[in-house]
A and B are shown apart, each in its own frame.
Chain A
Amino acid sequence: MRPFIHLKTKPVPLKASKLREQLPALLAQTLVVGGILYVALQLFYNTQANLEARNIASGFGFLSVEGGLPINDTLLPYSPADSYGYAFLIGTLNTLFVSALSIVLATILGVLVGVSRVSRNWLVARLGAVYVEVLRNVPLLLTLFFCYSVLLAFLPSPRNSMVPFGDIFINNRGIFMPRPEFLGAMGWVGSALAAAALASFLLMRKSRRMRDVTGRGLPAGWLSLGLLVGLPLAAYYLAGRPMTFDTPELHGFNFTGGMVLRPEFSALLAGLVLYTAAFIGENVRSGIESVDKGQIDAAKALGLKPGLIMRKIILPQTLRVCIPATTNDYTSLVKNSSLAVAIGYPDMVSIGGTIIGQNDQAIEVIGMWMAVYLTINLVLSMGMNWFNAKVQVVER
């Protein structure tokens, strides 16, 4: 195992003589910073003057004006009578939603791809390699166009919908599903779920302590699962099944009611997941290959089963290696979601583009885009860095 060395240095107090030594350097740095600030300020004033000279309004006042733009795929209720600002928020939520879902799915697929790359099975390993090479080396935009075209070519018209089971309809307008509608008594089910979560947390802790002391824990995983499923289910039936379904129905051109996953969303999700999983797969492979063979041999010699070796020895060390690279892939994924505009998914960039088209306040909207992406990715990086610090080897 590679040793992790932490160098800890105390700041040395600056003495008068030292200060004299460093004075030229300090002066130079101040000058450079001042110069940069000056140029930035000039740019700002020049822009303002140019905008005014061209009679282009500036400022964020337009955000409260009724936008009138249509958005088909929204997470919150929306109508064209809402303001530009709210429309932008709808787009931001769409960006967040598709990014979050893609990150989860890309991670799952990526781990599978990474594991398959190091598989001893020749076919599985080759399939993994082909997957990685194809997806990694084709521009994402083409992958998106491909996914979208394939979806549209493959899916039938609403009248000839595929019905896999129940009230689920699949056609080229989307996947239509019944939407659950919660009644008041659903609160009991929620409370039961919260209680189950608390109980399983306590159970896990108790099990860990018992294992530390006696070497044998409780089957906490299975018990927790039972609690998490059983309690809410029992509450649901005791409360008199407080849930109805709004089922989709075919009216004229299209289905109404229910929930819908539109092809634009599905294609974007598929494209982002397939593309990013190739990169994550490589991270996972490098992580697995970084684990010393000797450790696995030692584990085998101790009689550990392959599954346990993977879970307890390889995987924790894999995480350490692949998290930093995967953080990059996550942030890329968030940024790549802006390609949504090409295949008709109303993400933040698509809606912001329309707002620019109607107001020509490009600088403001571009600033908002940058601020949102920066915020999302900084939060994401912070979370990943925290996680990374947690899985590093703790030196005693």
Chain B
Amino acid sequence: MKLVGKLLLSIMMVAVASVAMAGTLERVQQNNVLVLGVSEGVAGFSAPDSNGRWTGFDADMGRAVAAAVLKDPEAVKFVPLASKQKIVAVSSGQVDLSRGTTWTMKRDGKQGVDFTVVLFYDGQGLMVKKGLGVTKGTELDGASVAVVSGTTSELNVADYARANNIKLETVVFDSKKEAFNAYVAGRCDAFTTDVSQLASLRAGASNPGEHVILAETFSKEPLAPFVCHGDNQWKDLVTWVLYGLIEAEEKGITQANVLEMKEKSTDPVVRRMLGATGEVGSFINLDNDWLVRAIQAVGNYGEMYDRNFGPDTALNIPRGHNNLWTKGGLIYAMPIR
């Protein structure tokens, strides 16, 4: 079980003496591969497709960084990690970069990791069966709720029940699949985890129409990729590659037109970020084509989102908070200059 993984991680904590200290960028360049921590399979975020190729929002994120740093979007080694392992895997230097994870004060301050950019504003929600007729979480007094262990969701659901003075029987499972199965089998009335994952699991259910995700969310889950604490050079690099993808959407730069934009655009901002003028790449220890390669690999932020969560996908998560700030969302890139 997971116990083995935890033990291995602990042994690694003991054994990895100076690897992380050497600087992640040098390590990535030396090994010519970016080691990316991904989920154990969450459709839309990171999951292997039928050919064994990792796809999803987080996989794209990793490919963009690999393209910028190593000039090869496929130079990514995907390491599936359980929720419980993902933080220690980064703080111990087992992986260079991890999938988006809820940015909290404790993780940032006390657990040896630093967060880069919030790429997905998520929130913990509840999924119930349509037949139950429940519309609000507070109507679930006395109900059983399936929860996945090792994440903040156990804490959130307990806090929610305490704050609203309702009783919830929580049944905690080690894996998302078992928790979801218990909910589908009727052992639990509701299933709780982040809305994005509810959508992901619902998409894979035998009868997706049978389940409703309640509109209410009871936690902030800003998902941000994170790196090892204290390596500012590497953190800056990842941060600005991701900002670059966001800025690209705002400026209308796409996978298809990126080269054309670099040559023909007269917008000084676009010319700077695509390396036609200036040397912004050197600010993060890269060459001037860093962002061109990243956009060629996965497109801009909006393209990444639509490919994995858009209306044509099984998940179909509306952009909502995850729209650009100019379109009423929260996605906002710092100025590239």
Contacts and interface: CB of A to CB of B under 8 A. Distances in A.
A344 interface: yes
Interface residues of A, number: 50
Contacts of B152: 358
Contact of B158 (A46, A69, A362, A363): A69
A120 interface: no
B154 A56 contact: no
Contact of A342 (B112, B151, B174): B174
Contact of B175 (A53, A80, A256, A342): A342
A354 B154 contact: yes
B170 A152 contact: no
Contacts of B174: 341-342, 350, 353
Contacts, number: 152
B263 interface: no
B84 A43 contact: no
A356 B6 CA distance: 9
A390 interface: no
A282 interface: no
Interface stretch (B14-22, B57-65, B238-246, B304-312): B14-22
Given A53-B21, A68-B159, A152-B182, A344 B2 contact: no
Interface stretch (B26-34, B47-55, B142-150): B142-150
Interface in A145-186: 149, 152-153, 157, 172-173
Contact of A46 (B17, B111, B144, B172): B17
Interface string A58-97: 0000000000111110000000110000000000000000
Contacts of B111: 55-56, 360
Interface in B187-206: 187, 189
Given A55-B112, A357-B84, A366-B6, A50 B13 contact: yes
A364 to B, nearest CB: 10
B154 A70 contact: yes
Interface in B134-164: 140-144, 146-147, 149-152, 154-155, 157-159, 161-162
A129 to B, nearest CB: 31
Contacts of A53: 20-21
B110 A57 contact: yes
Interface string A181-197: 00000000000000000
Contact of B142 (A149, A251, A342, A344): A251
A343 B14 contact: no
Contact of B178 (A57, A344, A349): A344
Contact of A354 (B3, B143, B150): B150
Contact of B10 (A55, A253, A362): A362
B168 interface: yes
A107 interface: no
Nearest to A153: B185
Interface residues of B, number: 60
Given A341-B149, A353-B84, A346 B172 contact: yes
Interface in B72-124: 83-84, 87-88, 91-92, 109-112
A329 interface: no
B256 interface: no
A31 interface: no
Given A338-B3, A342-B1, A360-B88, A354 B185 contact: no
A252 interface: yes
A88 to B, nearest CB: 14
B268 interface: no
A114 interface: no
B186 interface: yes
Interface of A: 43, 46-47, 50-51, 53-57, 68-72, 80-81, 141, 149, 152-153, 157, 172-173, 251-254, 256, 262-264, 338-339, 341-344, 346, 349-350, 353-354, 356-358, 360, 362-363, 366
29 contacts: A54-B13, A54-B20, A54-B91, A55-B110, A55-B230, A56-B91, A56-B110, A69-B158, A70-B157, A152-B185, A152-B186, A152-B187, A172-B185, A172-B186, A172-B187, A253-B140, A254-B169, A339-B1, A342-B1, A342-B173, A344-B178, A354-B150, A356-B84, A357-B83, A357-B84, A358-B152, A360-B88, A362-B6, A366-B6
In the A-B complex, list the 6 residue pairs whose CB atoms are closest, starting with the nearest: A357-B150, A54-B112, A70-B170, A70-B158, A152-B185, A253-B143
